[in-house]
Amino acid sequence: MSELDDLLKTIPIGDIASKLGVDEATADAAVAQAVPTLLAGLQAHADTDGPAPDNLTAAADAGDGAGVVKGLFGDQTDEVAHAAAGQAPAAVNSDLMKKLLPMLAPLVIAFVTQKLMSGKGGDQQAATPGGALGQILGSALGGGGNAAGGLGGILGGMLGGGQQQAGGALGSILGGLLGGKK
């Protein structure tokens, strides 16, 4: 089972559906797009000069999901939400995604923080923020699930190419996009 699968199992789909006012199938489809999007944002910030992970963790601990999303995506938040929604079924639109990303951000940060603290059995690579995030995101991309394919499509769509991106280029692509470079 992949890291992404482990993370997705911790998401209370019924509660999310209720808060969003949608059925569970729609919530599940939206979550399947939003979680990898948040992981990609975390990976981009591990690879660039984005906000320190401690700042994101503090915001997540305070329940400030909107602050985490703003810290990850900045002025690109609307574009990220639109691109994520574009890869999901029709019932998942960018407004729904904009509501969902802040709900999920604290859960994703808590999961990644737990993985960072556990150090994956003492593995030095996994104990570094970039290493653990890389492993989680790599697992998401390598898992072959719908979310993995959707994530590549999100990034390709954001760049205008519409093609799925390879896992190795993912961090630099999103990092460049968030950093204002193409």
> How far is it, in rounded angstroms, from Cα 101 to Cα 93?
12
> How far is it, in rounded angstroms, from Cα 41 to Cα 174?
7
Residue 6: the pLDDT is 85
If you average pLDDT over every residue of the chain, what do you get? Answer: 72
Residue 180: the pLDDT is 43
pLDDT at 94 over 50: yes
Q: Residues of the chain with pLDDT > 70: what percent?
A: 60
40-65 pLDDT, tens digit per residue, is 888 877 766 555 567 777 887 778 89
If you average pLDDT over residues 118-140, what whole number do you get?
55
Residue 168: the pLDDT is 38
> How far is it, in rounded angstroms, from Cα 121 to Cα 115?
10
Domain boundaries defined on the chain:
3-178
In contact, 139 and 14? CB cutoff 8 Å: no
The model's confidence at residue 119, banded by pLDDT at 50, 70 and 90, is low
Among the residue ranges 87-91, 105-109, 123-127, 138-142, the one predicted with the least confidence is 123-127
Nearest Cα to Cα of residue 79 among 60, 96, 98 = 98
In contact, 158 and 181? CB cutoff 8 Å: no
pLDDT at 98 over 70: yes
Structure tokens at 100: 């969902």
Among the residue ranges 21-35, 41-55, 73-87, 136-150, the one predicted with the least confidence is 136-150
> How far is it, in rounded angstroms, from Cα 91 to Cα 76?
22
Residue 177: the pLDDT is 44
pLDDT at 75 over 50: yes
H or E element that contains 57: helix 53-61
In contact, 38 and 169? CB cutoff 8 Å: no
> How far is it, in rounded angstroms, from Cα 180 to Cα 21?
35
Residue 136: the pLDDT is 61
User: What number of other Cβ atoms are within 10 A of residue 143's Cβ?
Assistant: 17
> How far is it, in rounded angstroms, from Cα 81 to Cα 21?
18
Residue 146: the pLDDT is 43
> How far is it, in rounded angstroms, from Cα 127 to Cα 50?
19
Residue 125: the pLDDT is 45
> How far is it, in rounded angstroms, from Cα 20 to Cα 31?
11
Q: Residues of the chain with pLDDT > 90: what percent?
A: 31
Nearest Cα to Cα of residue 30 among 77, 99, 76, 78 = 99
